[in-house]
Amino acid sequence: MSSGFSPKPLDGVLGGYLLPLSGRVYADRAAALREAIEQVGPTALVVDASELEQIDSSGLGVFIDLLKGMRERGGKIAWFGLNPDVVRVFKITRLDSVMPVFDDRAQAVAQVSHA
Amino acid sequence: MTEAALVDALARAALVEEVVVLRDPSADVLEAYGLDDQLGVIAWISGDAEQRAAALNAGALEVVHPDMPVEEAVARVETAVARFRSRLHLERAREEQLNASEELAQDLRLAARLQRSLLPQELPSAGVQFAAFYYPREVVSGDAYGVQEFGDSVVFYTLDSVGHGVRAALISILLRSALQPCDASGALRAPNEVLADLDRMLCGTRVHETPTAAFCYGVLDRQRGILEVSCAGHPPPVRLRPNGERVEIEEASGLLLGIQPWDYASVSVDLEPGDRVFFFTDGVGIDSGREFVEQLLRHRDLNLEEQVGGALGGVIELDAEGRPADDVTVLAVEYAPDRSKRSE
């Protein structure tokens, strides 16, 4: 994958996808990220941030747009594996209150599975 | 294929606006046509190979002659015309693009001047001291700050629209113009109410890419030394005491503006003379300002402006073009009641 973003179907969650992020997700990769997500059109999304170094407001903007669209259809986004710098960004922006953050994958999957 | 086909091909070529067909042109004639690079020449040479070569050297696009099989001559003429037109088309498109990008660049420079003109031209100096630093990454910026005096109080803010460039700049101008520090009676409103209004406005916009922004808003009563603050998705302001004590005003933090209606909180801080409070956008570093605050502490013996300048110097890396990786804005205020010369 040249864009570096490849959402994979999430077993047992209808319309659910797992999206691994890696490196730094800044403005220069935001368009590719948006396209990769829009192509699959998830109704639930679990973001694996265990390889993510940092994400800026342009990268987060992609998830905010997605969240707004998904919520109208009852969809959810959950994150897991965030490093302390990324956790701090979620705390400062309070995005953890609209996209919950978990320690491990199972908790994140459970969160998006509940309708 | 008969000779008539070649005559047809040459006639069609001659009809093309940018192409002329010449029969046995002299070197002078070819040279004259060669001066116009928007015009191509197809030459029919009845003479020998030397004359054909001379015509090509003089700049003819293609040379055809009676000894050439008709099919080949037709193909050569058509190919030469097609290639020439395609080259011209490409050159013209490039030129138009260059003109368009120059126009766009001029528009952007104008937008940047307008945006800068919206920033405070002077900072209040009675009872307080301010220092402001503003480094956009691109020509226009999603960051902005403002300072305005209302009697004994000063209202100030920093904001950072999500994203970069023109889109973010438009959101920041929209927010600035929608800002309402006072109620209908002219009294200053609580910071959390001001932010809630901006949040509702952004939440109400119906566009595909959600306009979202971080905002930190403060009202300082210069007489009493009371600072009220509310933030939306913005790095918490930091208060530094003259003795080196630091306090992050975290309780004032709410959700980024524009995501969903949010119940923002205002926090009240009693300032002592000499206390400094720093508002800064996340462009000061990917660690959301931790190192920046360390640097502020390291430079705390300097005056306010030098302190911020020194701290920024320690955290901001510029690229080869001298630009920071993200828009950077810092607005610092020192509570300095002894500077007040206007009351009593």
Look up the CATH number of the domain holding residue A27. Answer: 3.30.750.24
Along the 344 residues of chain B, how does pLDDT read in single tens digits? 677 888 888 888 888 888 899 999 888 888 888 788 888 899 999 888 888 898 888 888 999 998 888 888 888 888 888 888 888 888 888 888 888 888 888 888 888 888 888 899 999 999 999 999 998 888 888 999 999 999 999 999 999 998 777 888 999 999 999 999 999 999 999 999 999 999 999 998 877 677 899 999 999 999 999 999 999 999 999 999 999 999 999 999 999 999 999 999 999 999 999 999 999 998 887 677 889 999 999 999 999 999 999 999 989 888 888 888 888 999 999 999 976 554 44
Helix, strand, coil shares of chain B, percent, nearest 5, are: 40, 25, 35
Whole-structure pTM value = 0.76
- SS3 state at B316: coil
Which residue of A lies nearest to B254 if distances are taken between CA atoms? A94
Assign B147 to helix, strand or coil: strand
Is residue A3 assigned to a domain? no
Chain A residue closest to B206 (CA)? A68
Are the CB atoms for B333 and B129 separated by under 8 Å?
yes
Structure tokens at B338: 């002894």
B122 class by beta-carbon count within 10 Å (0-12 exposed, 13-18 middle, 19+ buried): exposed
Q: What is the DSSP string of B202-234?
A: HHT---SS---EEEEEEEEETTTTEEEEEEESS
Give the number of domains in chain A: 1
Query: What CATH architecture is B3-97?
Result: 3-Layer(aba) Sandwich (3.40)
Whether residues B255 and A98 touch (CB distance < 8 A) is answered with yes
For residue A1, being part of any structural domain is answered with no
Mutation to test the B interface, candidates A60, A93, A99, most B Cβ within 10 Å: A93
- Two tokens, residue A97: 């209150």
Q: For residue A79, what are the domain limits?
A: 8-113
* Sign of the C-alpha dihedral computed for residues B232, B235, B241 and B242 taken in this order: negative
* A98–B288 CB contact, under 8 Å: no
Cα–Cα dist B195/B265, whole Å: 9
Which residue type occupies B70? V
Yes or no: say if B326 and B137 are a contact pair by the CB < 8 Å rule.
yes
Could you give the CA distance from residue B105 to residue A52 in angstroms, rounded to a whole number? 35
Between chain A and chain B, how many beta carbons pairs sit less than 8 Å apart?
66
Residues of B in contact with A85 (CB under 8 A): 286-288
Closest to A65 in 3D by CA, of A82, A91, A45, A50: A45
Long-range contacts from B7-12, C-beta under 8 angstroms, 24+ separation: B9/B73, B9/B74, B9/B77, B9/B78, B10/B42, B10/B44, B10/B64, B10/B77, B12/B78, B12/B81
Determine the Cα–Cα distance for residues A55 and A22; give it in Å rounded to an integer: 10
How many Cβ atoms from other residues are within 10 Å of residue B126's Cβ?
A: 16
Q: How far is CA B182 from CA B136, B174, B178, B229, in A?
A: 29, 18, 12, 15
DSSP SS3 for B200 = helix
Q: Let me know if residue A50 belongs to a domain.
A: yes
Q: Which of A56, A97, A98 is nearest residue B326 as measured by Cβ atoms?
A: A56
- Closest CB to A93 among B163, B256, B286: B256
Residues A47-89: tens digit of each pLDDT = 999 999 989 888 898 999 899 888 878 889 999 999 998 999 9
Chain A: give the shortest CA distance to residue B199, in Å. Answer: 14
Q: Which amino acid is at B224?
A: R
- For the cut 80, the answer to whether the pLDDT of residue A97 exceeds it is yes
Domain B122-339 has CATH 3.90.730.10: no
Q: Would you call B255 and A89 a contact, using CB atoms and an 8 Å cutoff?
A: no
Say what the ipTM of the complex is: 0.88
